[in-house]
Amino acid sequence: MIPFPLLFLLFLVVPLLEIYLLIKAGSVIGALPTVALVVFTAVLGGFLLRLQGLSTLNRMRANMTQGKLPAMEIMEGAALLVAGGLLLTPGFFTDAIGFLLLIPPLRRYWLLKIINRVTINSVSRNEGRGPRTFDGESWRDDDEDPRLR
């Protein structure tokens, strides 16, 4: 679950920061060039996003052909989806974060940090509880389904 301060940051502070940056840029370079710059970053971001997405898709296919699980490529695809949303959102701050997500080494570094944090938190939350046991039934495919008896 996402904590309230993070939601507050996302839905209130980020748009206010975007408005502030757009007003500042407009006062320095003018309104029309500011709008043109926002449109240009969206178009450039879309083009770069397409290249990165195709590259990730090709690596995913190559891993699947070799019988490997394309886990990192799937996570990179999700990160690219977030980057696309940020790049299509008008503003300079969200564009900067979106462009940073388009840099493959940086994107992988952030994803590995998230994976390590989630893994550590998941393991540490289960400490002291002992092993988890699940009840269930099993049968081989050539046996009759025991639920049908």
Domain extents in the chain: 36-120
Residue 129: band (very low, low, confident or very high) from pLDDT cuts 50, 70, 90: low
Write the pLDDT tens digit of every residue in 21-77: 999 999 999 999 999 999 999 999 999 999 999 999 999 999 999 999 998 999 999
Encoding tokens for residue 13? 């502070």
Q: What is the pLDDT of residue 31?
A: 93
- Check whether 8 has a pLDDT greater than 90: no
CB atoms under 10 Å from CB of 70, counted, come to 18
Q: What is the pLDDT of residue 114?
A: 87
Rounded CA gap, 46 and 76, in Å? 16
Quickly list DSSP for 16-70: HHHHHHHHHHHHHH-HHHHHHHHHHHHHHHHHHHHHHHHHHHHHHHHHHHTT---
